[in-house]
Structure 1
Amino acid sequence: MRTRPGHRDEVAAILLDGVEGLRAAGCHLYVVGVSDTDPDLVVVNEVWQSREHHARSLQLPETKAAIARAMPLLTGEFTGQETTVRGGLGL
């Protein structure tokens, strides 16, 4: 996701605040990173038990609050890709 100039670290902090509840919501992996070459880019990698678990997580009060805090700091430019995990390390 692209942040407004100068807000990358603030958005990353918002995304990392309160991640403890994600596991109970069905999240197996949630990693927030920042680009080494783009000062306004935040990258989030997530693995969920199911698409439905992810959708329900977006209705949690703490998730809604984090989204409300982050949205004014974002440009609205998002890219994403859904995949099916076949295996690997870390899950």
Structure 2
Amino acid sequence: MTYVNTGSFVTQPGHRDAVVAILTRHSPQLAASGCLSYEVGVDEDHPDTVFVAETWTSASAHEQSLQLESTREAIAEAMPLLTGEMTQQHFTSVGSPLQD
């Protein structure tokens, strides 16, 4: 089973692409800390929103990743570009039709 964290961030008008650039920077530390996938997306119907879907080996691996220097730096860089409006959902995956 894996831990899944999804959410969205509303950016200050016109800053979506800057937030996407921050969130999509190559980060070998994430994989090393237990991140299995980290997908960043946009939807043209919501031009100031960034969506993120992450899968992790465990909830604790996700929690520990928030203490990585690279993660903390990315958060500090992105925060001034966000409105503070965010959503978050998390769950334990119990299976997938794509995996045995």
Q: TM-score, normalised by structure 2?
A: 0.84
* Counterpart among 53, 60, 80 of residue 72 in structure 1: 80
| CA distance in 2: counterparts of 1:18 and 1:59, whole angstroms | 17
Tell me the CA shift for residue 29 of structure 1: 1.3
What's the CA shift string for 1:17-62, capped at 9, x where partnerless? 1332211110111100011211100000001111111111111111
2:95 corresponds in structure 1 to: 87
Normalized per residue, the structure richer in strand is: 2
- Equivalent residue in structure 1 for 2:68, among 54, 60, 74: 60
Higher helix share: 1
Shift of 1:86: 1.8
Percent identity, aligned pairs only, is 52
Structure 1: stretches of 5+ with no match in the other structure = none
Runs of 4+ in 1 over 6 A off after TM superposition: none
* Alpha-carbon distance in 2 for matches of 1:36, 1:7: 14
2:11 is aligned to 3
Query: 1:40, 1:21 → 2: CA distance?
Result: 28
Q: How many residues align?
A: 90
Name the counterpart of 1:40: 48
Alignment TM-score, normalising by the size of structure 1: 0.92
Residue identity opposite 2:83 in structure 1: T
